[in-house]
Amino acid sequence: MFTLISISAGVLGGAVALGGLYLLARTAALKSGERPAICFVRSLAFLALVHGLGLVLVSACVLVAVPTRVAPLPVEDHDWMFRFILAGVVSVVSAGLVLRWTGWFPTRLKPAR
């Protein structure tokens, strides 16, 4: 019963968060003249970029710091850390590609004047 309630609360909270993010993106799109879907995708990609960076950095810190400071990691946890790092790298690369596709990252640097 508790699992059903927690899953329902997570789905509802996620839907409210995505709805609020879309409303913010739509407001920003109206001010800038862009399409709301592009602003929404750009904001989701930025969140994926930040999440992926955190996943890589925290997993790498745990993978390095725990065996040197506390105790050796169990084999299962050691393998999961590499999977987390790989998932974070995939998230960062894909978010970077989406951000570049939506025009947030410049394709080349502008010359100084």
Q: Is the pLDDT of residue 104 over 80?
A: no
Give the chain's radius of gyration (CA, Å): 19
Number of residues that make up the chain: 113
CB proximity list for 95: less than 8 A, separation 6 or greater: 45, 46, 48, 49, 52
Average of per-residue pLDDT across 54-62? 93
Structure tokens given for 21 = 């993010």
Q: Which of 34, 48, 44, 35 is nearest to 88 (CA)?
A: 48
Does the pTM surpass 0.95? The reply is no
